[in-house]
Copies of this chain bind each other. A is one copy, B any other.
Amino acid sequence: MANDYTNRTDVNELGEFGLIEHLTKDHPPKNASSIKGIGDDAAVIENGDYLTVVSTDSLVEGIHFDLMYTPLKHLGYKSVVVSLSDICSMNAIPRQVTMSVAFSNRFSVEAMEEFYEGVHAACKRYNVDLIGGDTTSSPKGLFINTTAIGQGVKGKIAYRSGAKVGDIICITGDLGGAYLGLQILEREKQIYLSNPGVQPDLEGQDYLVGRQLKPEPRLDVIERFEKAGLVPTAMIDISDGLASELFHICKESGVGAWLEESGVPIKQESEMMAIKFKMDPITCALSGGEDYELLFTIDPKDVEKVKYLPGIYMAGEIIEAKDGIKLHTKGGNIHPIKAQGWTHFGND
């Protein structure tokens, strides 16, 4: 009677992206309205004059967040944000979200109120409606699933697959901060666990800790693109680290990339904290996740449009696939970039 699903191929052999591809290949969309299925930040559905853009994300306690140092209100806020960020990365405007939460009986009504306060705060800030979802119990832990729905305009959706040789690689803001914020929180957690009398020392760390606990989707950038008449040739949000996202664009577009270390935006706070943790700042930017900035490429003829947008960093150029994905360091060296980013299938 008992079903045995153990002792076979370990999921780690494929990794998260390999697994999704493995489980969903050979099933192309059949409905004419399904314009884009699995394989981008969001799916795209045709709906008369507009396109409906849909994205779904899960956040799992013990994998994606630690309630020791994550206030539930921030978690509710972030759960909405990660989903909105996916809609923005398609060059679409988020309109609605659904929120499903499974939680164990260690959570009280007040705890869920705090969580939903954050959910509503994010919805309000980004003018998005919470239109559905469910709450159910779980035997252990907190599981969150958010689906965001957005509206896009035909011909203006930015897929991962549109980058062309010669396109300029752009980034919307500083990277590595969210990862370093997480390192600070983890350090304080360890200190607290070994000596519960010691209060956490987060003074002066507001910026980095804030990048981790309360990220924002770059809806402002999407709105500026619209005003500037700019449509990126390809776009993706930076949730798993710059290297991983650049790999996605290169793979889907069939191109390579030349990245200038000097063009990758890293804040001074991040540089200093990285050094404190004995890490290389560029490694934090390449492999640290959760900054939720946008990585996009533009046709060189649009450079003038980007120049007048605030806070956009040009960081490199799309090259031939055969030339690979390379980092040109400040020291003048050229290194191949490896896709790292977060892997959630470690031996947790």
Contacts and interface: CB of A to CB of B under 8 A. Distances in A.
Interface of A: 1-3, 5-11, 13-14, 16, 19-20, 22-24, 27, 29-31, 33-34, 36-38, 42-43, 45, 47-50, 52, 54-58, 60-64, 67-72, 95-96, 98, 100, 102, 105-114, 116, 120, 123, 127-141, 143, 145, 147, 149, 151, 188-189, 192, 199-200, 344-348
Nearest to A112: B23
Nearest to A189: B1
Interface centre among A10, A20, A47, A48 (most CB of B within 10 A): A47
A197 to B, nearest CB: 11
A144 to B, nearest CB: 9
Contact of A54 (B64, B128, B147): B147
A132 B38 contact: yes
Contacts of A137: 11, 60, 63, 344-346, 348
Contacts of A19: 109, 112, 135
A64 B100 CA distance: 15
Nearest to A133: B56
A149 B29 CA distance: 14
Nearest to A139: B62
Contacts of A188: 1
A214 to B, nearest CB: 15
A103 to B, nearest CB: 8
Contacts of A60: 102, 136-139, 143
A96 B34 CA distance: 7
A135 B64 CA distance: 13
14 contacts: A5-B67, A5-B111, A8-B109, A11-B109, A19-B109, A24-B130, A34-B129, A36-B131, A45-B149, A54-B96, A54-B147, A57-B100, A58-B134, A102-B143
A251 B113 CA distance: 24
Closest 6 CB pairs of A and B: A48-B48, A8-B108, A43-B131, A5-B111, A145-B145, A47-B47
Contacts of A135: 16, 19-20, 23
B129 A29 contact: yes
Contact of A11 (B6, B34, B37, B105): B105
A68 B4 CA distance: 9
A87 to B, nearest CB: 12
B151 A37 contact: no
Nearest to A110: B8
Contacts of A113: 22-23
